[in-house]
Amino acid sequence: MRESHLEPDRFYHIFNRGVNSKLAFLNNENFNFFLRKAKIYIIPYFEIYAYCLMPNHFHFILKTKSEIDRSHENYKNDGLHSEDCFYSKAISKFISSYTQSFNKVYQRSGPVFESPFKRIIIDSEEYLRNLIIYIHQNPANFQEYKFSSYLAIIGSSETNVQRDKILELFDDRTNFIECHQKEIII
């Protein structure tokens, strides 16, 4: 069954887990490398609203950019990559790039993540807010967990996460933190 195409200017929950629920990130370097790959493959075409990397899965909330930068080095429209599939192909390239490096480092072969990646369209502001909280609450110690966007949003360091837009979605930083104190079930 084919997955639906990602459309411009829409929010999506993008997630995936390791094949057979196995670990996809074995150490901090794996997590950091995955985030560096996100800068290359995700940032040119998506805005990041939230993320959380767990040892055997990941979550992103992404907003597709309305205009594709056709001059970017990762953009290729050679007939095989139609406009309809472009955003999905960008995410697939991101996952594939990580997988190739992971396999080389650990002298293994085959997929690291299940295929295809999962995607759910986010169709309301309330759902978007709840999903941001849900994703951040994945680790038990989410207020200190360094492989999610929670600390980037409440902090002041430079980030690729859409901090200002997210804080505006929650009205302000204080409310963002307070909302995260309530358990969210999606």
Q: Calculate the average pLDDT of the chain.
A: 92
Which candidate, 165, 173, 132, 164, places its Cα nearest to that of 149? 132
Q: Which CATH number goes with the domain that contains 36?
A: 3.30.70.1290
In this prediction, residue 86 carries a pLDDT of 84
pLDDT at 80 over 70: no
pLDDT at 1 over 50: no
Q: Is residue 3 part of a domain?
A: no
**Least confident span in 3-17, 49-63, 79-93, 145-159:** 79-93
In this prediction, residue 4 carries a pLDDT of 72
Q: Is residue 161 part of a domain?
A: yes
Q: Is residue 186 part of a domain?
A: no
Buried b (16+ CB within 10 A) or exposed e, 140-171: eebeebebbbbbbbbeeeeebbbbeebbeebe
Quote the domain boundaries for residue 85.
11-179
pLDDT band with cut points at 50, 70 and 90 for residue 77 = low
Q: Is residue 184 part of a domain?
A: no
More confidently predicted of 17 and 81: 17
Q: Is residue 5 part of a domain?
A: no
Q: Is residue 185 part of a domain?
A: no
Q: Is residue 6 part of a domain?
A: no
Cα–Cα distance between 178 and 152 in angstroms, integer? 16
What's the sign of the alpha-carbon dihedral 64, 69, 73, 78?
positive
Q: What is the pLDDT of residues 30-69, one digit of tens each?
A: 999 999 999 999 999 999 999 999 999 999 999 999 876 6
In this prediction, residue 111 carries a pLDDT of 97
What's the number of domains the chain is made of? Answer: 1
C-alpha angle 60-147-165 in degrees, rounded to nearest 5 = 50
Judge contact between 102 and 112, C-beta under 8 A.
yes
Q: Is residue 4 part of a domain?
A: no
Q: What is the pLDDT of residues 93-125, one digit of tens each?
A: 999 999 999 999 999 999 999 999 999 999 999
